[in-house]
Chains A and B, each alone.
Chain A
């Protein structure tokens, strides 16, 4: 079901404003990532959707119905916490069965549903174990199965892979994406990892300082960032001629061309397939260009060389349109097609 958070304002204590008039529309069946640095308000927004926090003002609708003052129990949501929040005194099976037992479903139905979910998350053999006997990745899959057991209308994930190793994280991301493609539950994922957001989500909402800066598809926010912040948060940046650019969009020439700036190569850093070239322009400011290894060898670049650099035309936040923060209006993506 779609989720609409409108004009949400939330303050903690007297000083800290966590959400300042935030509006976000999550279309039905989408996987939306709330991406931002810590303290940007992304977790608070998710917890307000779940009913774990109450907004000072604003409205939360799930499937069009006003749930602003509803308790978490009434919302029919699945919530997954960063640190699993496993019920430590229960077996894996009982963890997954918890929501169904609370709903007093018949035993046979509970068993069938839990067995199905344990199979889905690959924990069939672990049903009798305690959560502490599982690895981190297994525990988080158990938490997902537990959240899915109640057949939630929406699935809310709060930094679900934040506590895991890089390998396991990548594996779980792909697994989550597959799961979403099979189940189509409207999902909101909170993360501070832009790679994770780009890889998993079909829509990314970039947050900074209690506000949403831009909402769009991963390519949108990367290629057409609405603000300097979005540009800098989503990938490496460099400043050329006072303009923010991506280093891989900077071109290097050995002779002067139209629109180029003279620069001296200060350092050439080999990063496997790619090469980072650090240059200094006459006014003393530094810029970075990222080239392929082949291109660098063709140019025979070395520290001390004089080169001519050209920033990309039409790049940088000042030249792009500011995307509407309402996903549904700027983009009516069909999530199944991704």
Chain B
């Protein structure tokens, strides 16, 4: 198809404008707003006791949810792609539930299951463990919503790599465990790295499901996204500008993870 220059440039302009308005604009705007009153002011907003507590809660949530979903994700991807077990289709469909169900619904479901009057909630309550309106519930909610990322990133890579390298390792005497660590994992690490980045970004940024199971008490069950929301609705100096600072903090954290994973897994240029 021959596209005339006029249309070609028009299309490009539209595409770039679309990205600028929806993607780049807001991010740049938040960045500018954060440092509007200088770096010192922005820094003071992210170092209040409530903000420090929120930072560590977010780190804790990600530190538990990301490794869990990475291990589960790689394992599930191997089952989906390598095994011939029955029920694979069902598993494949189940994985996507967190993607198709609204996070708020997910949060509500957790309240029903783990709440004081829920199925397991009373058992936990009897043993002195509080899940709903406590960090534990926020972690479970985050694990739930960020579960599919790693599976969905790793599965296609595993498919593309194929089974020949694994078979070669087997004929050379490697056990399944040795084959996994020495051959399979190194060859899918790019997919795993990207899965980790997406899972981390979601774990840090999740607000819907987490809001439902949080007691919204500053300093104990408020994670960074919840703090952003809290601050946007608070009038005065601790309000909207502080929210921008927290937003930038979140963005920087995700960027650091992205950068770290990119550095840890150098691009491979070969196909086979």
Q: Hey, which bits of chain A sit against chain B, CB under 8 A?
A: 50-52, 71-73, 75, 77-79, 81, 83-90, 98-99, 102-103, 130-132, 143, 146-147, 149-150
Closest to A82 in B: B164
Check A102–B178 contact: CB distance below 8 A. yes
Check A73–B270 contact: CB distance below 8 A. no
B201 to chain A, nearest CB (A): 26
Check A85–B168 contact: CB distance below 8 A. yes
Q: Provide the B156-188 mask, 1 if CB < 8 A to any CB of A, else 0.
A: 000000001101111111110010001100110
With contacts A131-B270, A132-B272 taken as known, whether A85 is within 8 angstroms of B175 at the C-beta atoms is no
Docked complex: B97-117 residues within 8 A CB-CB of A? none
Cα–Cα, bound, A131→B165 (Å): 13
A103: contacting residue among B164, B168, B173, B269, CB under 8 A: B173
Check B173–A73 contact: CB distance below 8 A. yes
Q: How many A-B residue pairs have CB under 8 A?
A: 72
Closest to A101 in B: B182
Q: Hey, which bits of chain B sit against chain A, CB under 8 A?
A: 164-165, 167-175, 178, 182-183, 186-187, 268-272
Q: Is the interface of B mostly helix, strand, loop or mixed?
A: helix
List of B residues within 8 angstroms of A150 by Cβ: 172-173
List of A residues within 8 angstroms of B164 by Cβ: 81, 83, 85
Check A86–B183 contact: CB distance below 8 A. no
List of B residues within 8 angstroms of A84 by Cβ: 272
With contacts A84-B272, A132-B272 taken as known, whether A89 is within 8 angstroms of B186 at the C-beta atoms is yes
Check A99–B187 contact: CB distance below 8 A. no
List of B residues within 8 angstroms of A71 by Cβ: 170
List of A residues within 8 angstroms of B178 by Cβ: 102
With contacts A52-B171, A102-B173 taken as known, whether A132 is within 8 angstroms of B271 at the C-beta atoms is yes
Cα–Cα, bound, A146→B174 (Å): 13
Check A73–B170 contact: CB distance below 8 A. yes
Check B270–A132 contact: CB distance below 8 A. yes
A sample of 9 more A-B contacts (CB under 8 A), given A98-B169, A99-B172, A143-B168, is A52-B167, A73-B175, A77-B171, A83-B164, A89-B186, A89-B268, A102-B172, A103-B173, A149-B172
B13 to chain A, nearest CB (A): 40
